[in-house]
Chains A and B, each alone.
Chain A
Amino acid sequence: EVQLVESGGGLVEPGGSLRLSCAASGFNFKIYNMNWVRQAPGKGLEWVSYINGAGTYIYYADSVRGRFSISRDNAKNSLFLQMNTLTAEDTAVYYCVRFGVVNAFDLWGHGTMVIVSS
């Protein structure tokens, strides 16, 4: 089955760190560009970060640049998001999303919830 499964979310105090993981299966992971997209409770969608298939091109939203780091392990079909210096504004469901050949987010994981609170 073609799917993305996120893990690693949870409750963290302001200023803390968390590492999200995304396990891909059912497709040739290494040839696909990947993203993280988040959604704060009751709010819309916000693109967070992008990494190309080889891991050589990486982009971030201004809101997370310098605090978040995206990476991937193609041998393990996995995508990661290291999140540091977290604030309450980072509270959201984080989705692992495949960027398809049709120039769109064509495959989404179920999401993992990150809550930043003391």
Chain B
Amino acid sequence: EIVMTQSPATLSLSPGERATLSCRASQSVSGSYLSWYQQKPGQAPKLLIYGASTRATGIPARFSGSGSGTDFTLTISSLQPEDFAVYYCQQDYNLPWTFGQGTKVEFK
């Protein structure tokens, strides 16, 4: 099983600041199979990034993804109030498909 480890667990930032979220896989993952999701309280997750770096439909340009192999990054260039949420990375390169434990982006 590929273990996805996200860091930090919590990121305390202010609106307008840059957020950098890390996701590390226990073994190499093809970038085509690495995705990022956003989840707000009481809501289902929403796809943000697929293929490590491609924004899903309707996702603002302030969200960007990068990385390859075992190290991937989600960057939010300038935090908006609606971006405070939990973010998960996920691989579907190998079964079982696995998620990271999540990074909570909270108000500082």
Contact = CB atoms under 8 A, between A and B. Distances in A.
A111 to B, nearest CB: 6
Contacts of A47: 96-99
Contacts, number: 59
Given A45-B88, A103-B92, A109 B33 contact: no
Given A44-B101, A47-B96, A108 B32 contact: no
Interface size band for A: 20 to 34
A100 B33 CA distance: 12
Contact of A106 (B56, B88, B95, B97): B56
A104 to B, nearest CB: 4
A58 B82 CA distance: 37
B8 interface: no
B46 interface: yes
B47 A95 contact: no
Interface string A74-115: 000000000000000000000100011011111011110000
B50 interface: yes
Nearest to B30: A103
Interface of B: 32-33, 35, 37, 39, 44-47, 50-51, 54, 56, 88, 90, 92, 95-102
